[in-house]
Amino acid sequence: MKPTLLILAAGLGSRYGGVKQMDQIGPGGESIIDYSIYDAIQAGFKKVVFVLNPTIIDDFKEIYEHRLKGKIETEYVLQEVSNVPEGITFNPDRIKPWGTGHAVMMAKEVIQDPFAVINADDFYGREAFQTLCPYLESLENDSSAYAMVGYNIANTLSEHGTVSRGVCETKNGLLVDVVERTSIFRSNEGIVFEEDGMKILIEEYATVSMNFWGFTPLFFKQLENDFINFIHEHSGQLKSEFYIPLVVNNHILKNEASIHVLKSDAQWFGITYQEDKPLTIDKIRQLTETGIYPKGLWK
């Protein structure tokens, strides 16, 4: 059973100032998504599902349907603010999507096998896909023995602003707890996050989640149940988000799921900010020149 890759590409890049999902960073006009899909194919993934915003789906499909034809099976689903349980009303001024957990829910009808979840704008490294793919292949569809690729926090920072990371507590190779920190940066004191105006230190070698998860179809049911509770509490708010770690933590605490942490020593890079783009282009150039990737990725 070959797993599916689910790419969360519905964000509109408020910090970046553009549609970074399709921003060209490779020598042949490739985006970061292209390299993730290429690595996934090499690792053994059979299908890719894109979660998209309605405003970009036409432009996105125009690029990727041609580019990926004959290389991997593709599906497209939409994340829309209005997609909430029947009978729920929400603030009509709400524009922001409901978060990563809600985005994953959108793929329920098109994923029938174990699957990986990644962000569209993060470069994870081929080794991460090669590590997660065989783990997913070993799972039954009703297994709750999920997985997460964990990164060293020092390898995941941006030089140009704060980042959001899921800071993890692990024990015996399993995730115990993950807390979403939304304003992480390196200061003179070390790596810190800001909360209520205070700077709080994070261990230099802390493991963080880069939203690279491995689940089975059972996770969709857990997501839906938790989202109903979330939306009842937050439906009137404009910015509250339903994050994957919220669901993961809930089901770890209930002993309804385990998360195996598959460590990666890779150096993360991505385009959180426009200022990140030149460095990302340079790193892709280096990987191409050393033969990790061909100059024309899909030729």
Confidence check: pLDDT of 14 > 70: no
Q: Is 55 exposed, middle or buried (0-12, 13-18, 19+ CB in 10 A)?
A: exposed
Domain count, the chain: 1
Confidence check: pLDDT of 140 > 50: yes
Confidence check: pLDDT of 16 > 50: no
Domain membership of residue 298 (yes or no) is: no
Domain membership of residue 299 (yes or no) is: no
The model's pLDDT over 179-215, given as tens digits with 9 standing for 90+, comes to 888 889 999 999 999 888 889 999 988 999 999 999 9
Domain membership of residue 297 (yes or no) is: no
State the DSSP string of 30-64: --HHHHHHHHHHHHT--EEEEEE-TTTHHHHHHHH
The pLDDT assigned to 18 comes to 46
The pLDDT assigned to 19 comes to 53
The model's pLDDT over 68-84, given as tens digits with 9 standing for 90+, comes to 999 999 999 999 999 98
Determine the length of the chain. 299
Identity of the residue numbered 185: F
Domain membership of residue 294 (yes or no) is: no
The pLDDT assigned to 158 comes to 82
Domain membership of residue 296 (yes or no) is: no
Domain membership of residue 175 (yes or no) is: yes
> By mean pLDDT, which of 1-15, 121-135, 158-172, 240-254 is the weakest?
1-15
Q: What does pTM read for this prediction?
A: 0.91
CATH number of domain containing 232 = 3.90.550.10
Confidence check: pLDDT of 277 > 50: yes
Identity of the residue numbered 131: T
Domain membership of residue 270 (yes or no) is: yes
The pLDDT assigned to 88 comes to 83
Structural domain harbouring 81: 4-289
More confident residue, 180 or 227: 227
CB 124 within 8 A of CB 212: yes
Interval 269-293 mean pLDDT: 88
**Non-local CB neighbours of 185 within 8 Å, separated by 6+ positions:** 157, 158, 161, 162, 163, 191, 192, 193
Domain membership of residue 84 (yes or no) is: yes
Interval 89-115 mean pLDDT: 94
